[in-house]
Amino acid sequence: MIDAASVKSMPWGMWTRQALAVARLELLRSFRQRRGWLILAAMPVVVTAGHSVIASTGHWSCSIGLDTRVFAAIFQFLILRFVIFFGCAGIFTTAFRGDTSEKTLHYYFLTPMRREVLAAGKYLAYEATALIVFAGGAALSYFLITLHFGAAHWEHMLRGTGLYEMAWYTLVAALACIGYGAIFLLVGLWYKNPMIAVAAVMVWENINPFLPTLLKRFSVIFYLKGLSPVDVPMTGSLSLIEVLSNPTPAYLAIPGLLILSTVVLFLACRSARDMEVSYGE
């Protein structure tokens, strides 16, 4: 049995140091190789910046209220379901797979480090990257969409609801990175070819409104969609989704998502533990 005393006597200091060492090395390596996700992260920024540029020429009639509602839709459909989803898929599925194809995983496996610590260190490194790039990107694109209003923009940001909304979007984007990061770390460990699994996760996330209540909870989007600070303008078939889903309140959704992520991370650690180094012939 695991009791509090034995948990306390575990070498947490050493584990933390090792996890940080892994994270450091992963960041050192990843900034030299994988840059594809930067293009993904730039998409919403380009869209909202473009909007501001065109709107400032006076060709569009918009208002701050309209722009923030449009942003709510951009956030739900472009940022959450596309940019963060595929960005995290790209980053986290290669966390171990990348080392295997590079044939360098054994260097980690030959250090006096628990595999759980290795998985945690990798998750930490890629989570830091995802948070800066995707959550930061969400905040920046929110900031940019109303920029063209000039003084009114600053009024909205500083005295209106702007800062509050931006903080919420950043938080939701961060939660999405945490959840999808954990899921795709696991997917990368479980499947040799993660593409099919990524597609399966995508389908699962999108049929979420139609699932029975219990199954809904095993999905990231279930926790996130109710957290938007501004309602998404729904028309036609999209409104059906809205009717079917009654959003979870934030005080349940945030711990719910964190619990889901922890469980998934636990499974990832288990499967890292069972892993063998075999680079094939």
Partner 1 sequence: MSAHTPPPDSGARIVFDNVSRFYGEVLGVNRVRLSIPPGITSLVGPNGSGKTTLMNLMCGLIRPNKGTITVNGISTDDPERLFHQVGYCTQVDAFPRGLSGWQFIYSYLLCHGYSPAEAHARAEASLRKLDMLEASERAVAGFSKGMRQRIKLAQAISHDPRVMVLDEPLNGLDPMARAELIALFREWGAEGRHVIVSSHILHEVDEISDQVILLSHGYVVAEGQIQGVRSEVSDQPMQILVRCDRPHVLAARLFEKDHVVEGKLQDDRTLLVRTRDADRFYLNLNDVILESGLQVDTVAPHDEDVNSVYQYLIGEGSTT
Ligand X SMILES: Nc1ncnc2c1ncn2[C@@H]1O[C@H](COP(=O)(O)OP(=O)(O)OP(=O)(O)O)[C@@H](O)[C@H]1O
CA-to-CA separations, 206 to 145, 169, 244, 245, in angstroms, rounded: 27, 20, 13, 12
DSSP 12-32: HHHHHHHHHHHHHHHHHHHTT
Q: Which CB, 112 or 280, lies closer to ligand X?
A: 280
276 touches ligand X by CB under 6 A: no
Taking CB under 8 A as the rule, does residue 109 contact partner 1?
A: yes
Smallest gap from residue 193 Cβ to ligand X (A): 18
Regarding 107 and contact with partner 1 (CB under 8 A), the answer is yes
Query: CA angle, corner 29, sides to 23 and 33, nearest 5?
Result: 135
Least Å distance, CB 132 to partner 1, is 20
Q: Is 270 in the site for partner 1 (CB under 8 A)?
A: no
**Cα(47)–Cα(166) distance, integer angstroms:** 17
Distance between CA 14 and CA 50 in Å, rounded? Answer: 48
Identify which range of 83-91, 111-119, 239-247, 262-270 contacts partner 1 by CB under 8 A: 111-119
58 binds ligand X (CB under 6 A): no
Tell me: does residue 278 bind ligand X (CB under 6 A).
Answer: yes
CB of 14: closest distance to partner 1 in angstroms? 5
Exposure on the CB side of residue 47, measured as CA atoms within 13 A = 20
Calculate helix-pair angle for 12-30, 115-130, nearest 10 degrees.
50
Among 60, 65, 66, 111, binds partner 1 (CB under 8 A): 111
- Please enumerate in sequence order all residues whose Cβ is within 8 A of that of 171, keeping only pairs 6 or more positions apart, or say none: 227
The nearest distance, CB 189 to ligand X, in angstroms, is 18
Residue 2, φ and ψ in degrees, nearest 5 = -95, 120
280 binds ligand X (CB under 6 A): yes
Which of 56, 63, 104, 262 touches partner 1 by CB under 8 A?
104
Using the rule CB under 6 A, give the single segment among 74-82, 178-186, 217-225, 273-281 that binds ligand X.
273-281
Q: Say how far apart CA 26 and CA 103 lie, in whole Å.
A: 15
CB 126 within 8 A of CB 26: yes
Q: Does 250 bind partner 1 (CB under 8 A)?
A: no
Which entry of partner 1, ligand X, none binds 103, CB below 5 to 8 A by partner kind?
A: partner 1
Q: What x/- string results for residues 24 through 63 when contact with partner 1 is judged by CB under 8 A?
A: xx--xx--xx------------------------------
User: Are the beta carbons of 15 and 114 closer than 8 angstroms?
Assistant: yes
| Cβ distance to ligand X smaller for residue 77 or 279 | 279
Q: Which positions ≥6 away from 143 have C-beta within 8 Å?
A: 157, 166
Please tell me whether residue 51 adopts helix, strand or coil conformation.
helix
Q: Which of residues 114-173 bind partner 1 (CB under 8 A)?
A: 114-115
Q: Interface residues with partner 1 (CB under 8 A)?
A: 14, 17-18, 21-22, 24-25, 28-29, 32-33, 102-104, 106-115, 276-279
